[in-house]
Chain A
Amino acid sequence: MQLAYYPGCTIKVSAREHERAALAILRELGIALREMPEWNCCGVVHTLTGENLIRQMAPLRVLARLRQQGEREAVTLCDMCFNTLARANHLARTQPDQVSALNATSGGGLDYDGAGEVLHLLHLLRDRVGLAAIRKRVRRPLRDLVVYPYYGCKLLRPTGIGLDDPEMPTLLRDLMESLGATVVEGSLQTQCCGAYLAVDRAGLVTERVGATVEQARDAGAGAIVLSCPLCHFNFATLQPHAGAPLPVLYYTQAIGLAFGLDPAELGLDDRQMEALGRAVPSQALHDLAHARGGSA
């Protein structure tokens, strides 16, 4: 299977490892992603601002370009991009007059009829590949790894666009369980991590991240698994400093580990693998953590 791929800026600048892991596991699953030859920022920064049409320019341009490039569907890894694009797509379908107005005042090039489709990688894995196929490809089940799936907000909201039930999601749990991991859950899984407030109100983000990490630890988790690069950034850099931080994994990395791929290929360095190994006194994972060092 081949699909157009819309990476988004965050993936390229600060979440390269997520992309590497995604491309690696997809290769294993026989899916090739082709990066769109020319693309722009999804426009998330602006869609978070007040209601106006200008903010829809960037996401609509991505969708219009997708169609101009002869594609119908594009896959994205980033929750922010997915959310922004999917909402713009929704606008194009429900209020085409607004899109026409925007197109008319911006010199053409935004001519888009809502016929494109944005897929989150999780859509692809759940609905096209299927959890059964993923389970079949597992070589090193993540036995003894206790994970706390964290959804944040962009993956689930608003209803109609989100991938799963916004209050009681099961997507990441099902996925992790198909890798052989043990899943623990809690009420803060779907709470916003604080997102861009990290820029000017880092304290607030630290508070939220801290509460979530604590909940995960209390439930016995050895790692947090999530999807969004922004959540990842906040969890990885703004955890309160008491003790060793709880390791944070992209689900793509977890899948890759279960597939038995080289951690380096998944963008996991020795330090991260060691932390993971410490958190999980399991032989299987220990082996994994040292798979690279041992073979080198």
Chain B
Amino acid sequence: MSEPATLVTMELMGKEYRVPSGLTILAAIEYAGYKLVRGVGCRGGFCGACPTLYRREGSHRIFTALACQTLVEDGMCLVQMPFVPVPTKPYDLHGITPQPTTLLRFFPEIAGCVACNTCTRACPQGLPVMDYIQAALRGDIERVAMLSFDCIACGICSSRCPADIKHYAVGLLARRIYGKYLVPPSEDLAVRVSAIEAGRYDAELRKLMELPLADLRARYEQRNFETVAEQHRDHSATQRYNSPMDPVDYQDELEGV
């Protein structure tokens, strides 16, 4: 360590530990001597495995956070929630006809939402959770899909909800219905899939596979590059980003070594 960090005191499941400031809650727990099995996953704010409840000095509130995304603070009194059970009855997405009452039918408990907003306040992703539950209640599937998209299924909202709603499961079903039924399928894709199934590219691919290395390399070097998509035109530098020099043609080094 180049310079000793100041130490803070945290209370983890009733025991006090002195840990360096500037660590995430996750790293602080490990620093304190725990080898985590539960309560950790991606360590990068994507998987929702590390929901944490804590209180701070000078406030009566319970705060919620992702342990991997939040700094430890002096006087924090915390516990990890390894798991928030959100079992759902199996459904067959492929047999659903989306209707305003679809979400309500699968999750009747959303009608019990008292609009207390606790879920929104607790969500570590900062999502308008109450609003997507309310949108679900009134059958606005698209809105649920949009508002809930960044959900990482940490379950914090469900652990705090007085109406015992399974928020992330509601969001997930809405998104799948939206993706499958409410967005049109891509026509280009369908055309390409039939071409592949008809074996349209087989011969050419086989030819490439049989090409001597030098010829294949020549084909590679002669590739023409698509001009950058319309919407990126004003970002001249993205053009570079899509250029042949980045990031891989370092065959020279590889061969030389």
Contacts and interface: CB of A to CB of B under 8 A. Distances in A.
A106 interface: yes
Interface in B128-158: 128, 130-131, 134, 137-140
Contacts of B140: 12
Interface residues of A, number: 20
B116 interface: yes
Contact of A40 (B100, B101, B131, B139): B131
Given A40-B130, A40-B131, A45-B111, A9 B138 contact: yes
Interface string A130-154: 0000000000000000000000000
Interface stretch (A51-59, A233-241, A278-286): A51-59
Instruction: Tell which of B61, B113, B128, B140 has the most Cβ of chain A within 10 Å.
Output: B113
Contact of B139 (A12, A54, A58, A106): A12
Interface string B86-105: 00000000000000110010
A194 interface: no
A13 B118 contact: no
A39 B134 contact: yes
B134 to A, nearest CB: 4
Given A12-B100, A12-B139, A54 B134 contact: no
A41 B138 contact: yes
Given A38-B131, A40-B131, A40-B134, A13 B139 contact: yes
Interface string B109-121: 0011111111001
B114 A9 contact: no
Contacts of A38: 128, 131
A107 interface: yes
Contact of B118 (A40, A43, A55, A106): A106
Contacts of A106: 116-118
A41 B113 contact: yes
A109 interface: yes
Interface in A45-96: 45-46, 54-55, 57-58, 61
A107 B235 CA distance: 42
Contacts of A12: 100, 138-140
| Main SS class of interface, A | helix
A295 to B, nearest CB: 30
Contacts of A7: 138
Interface in A1-51: 7, 9, 12-14, 38-41, 43, 45-46
A267 to B, nearest CB: 14
Contacts of A57: 114-117
A14 B100 CA distance: 8
Contacts of B130: 40
A43 B114 contact: yes
A88 to B, nearest CB: 11
A61 B128 CA distance: 14
Contact of A41 (B121, B134, B162): B134
Q: Which among B114, B128, B162 has the greatest number of chain A C-beta atoms within 10 A?
A: B114
Contact of B116 (A9, A14, A54): A54
Contacts of A58: 113-115
Nearest to A55: B114
B162 to A, nearest CB: 8
Nearest to B117: A109
A45 B112 contact: yes
A21 to B, nearest CB: 18
A1 to B, nearest CB: 26
A41 B117 contact: no
B209 to A, nearest CB: 56
Contacts of A54: 114, 116, 162
Interface of B: 61, 100-101, 104, 111-118, 121, 128, 130-131, 134, 137-140, 162
- Of all A-B residue pairs in the complex, the 7 with the closest CB atoms, nearest first, are A58-B115, A12-B138, A9-B138, A40-B134, A40-B115, A13-B100, A107-B121
Given A14-B100, A58-B113, 8 more contacts: A9-B137, A12-B139, A38-B131, A40-B131, A41-B138, A43-B114, A46-B114, A57-B117
14 contacts: A9-B138, A13-B138, A40-B131, A41-B134, A43-B114, A45-B111, A46-B114, A54-B114, A55-B114, A57-B115, A58-B113, A61-B115, A107-B61, A107-B121
